[in-house]
């Protein structure tokens, strides 16, 4: 499915808003990696879904690669740090 991604302007390297292919629509709070070298992880902040498979949109912010790992460990009850 094609999903339009809106990148926050603080992303480094600068990312252009545009369509990306996904198997399923990401949910709020999930982390995505776009599979390109030198690109960071992104956290999904907002999802706009519609009935059309070509008009779903997500808004993402840049995330530190260790943030999703820390969240998983906290959810499992393991102290991180």
Q: What is the DSSP string of the chain?
A: -EEEEEE-TT-SS----EEEE-SSPPPTT-EEE---TT--EEEEEEEE--SSTT-EEEEEEEE-THHHHHHHHHHTT----
Q: Is pLDDT above 80 for 16? A: yes
Range of the domain at 17: 2-75
Domain assignment present for residue 12? The answer is: yes
Q: What is the mean pLDDT of the chain?
A: 79
Q: Is pLDDT above 70 for 58? A: yes
Structure tokens at 11: 């992303």
Number of domains the chain contains: 1
Domain assignment present for residue 80? The answer is: no
Say what the pTM is: 0.73
Domain assignment present for residue 32? The answer is: yes
Domain assignment present for residue 51? The answer is: yes
Domain assignment present for residue 70? The answer is: yes
Stretch 50-75: mean pLDDT, rounded? 76
Q: What local confidence, expressed as pLDDT, does residue 49 receive?
A: 82
Higher pLDDT, 37 or 60: 60
């Amino acid at each position: 499915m094609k999903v339009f991604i809106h990148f926050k302007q603080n992303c480094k390297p600068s990312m252009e808003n545009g369509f990306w292919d996904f198997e399923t629509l990401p949910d709020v709070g999930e982390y995505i990696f776009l599979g390109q070298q030198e690109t960071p992880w992104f956290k999904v902040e907002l999802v706009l879904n519609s009935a059309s498979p070509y008009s779903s949109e997500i808004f993402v912010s840049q995330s530190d690669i260790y943030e999703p790992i820390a969240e998983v460990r906290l959810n499992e009850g393991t102290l991180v740090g």
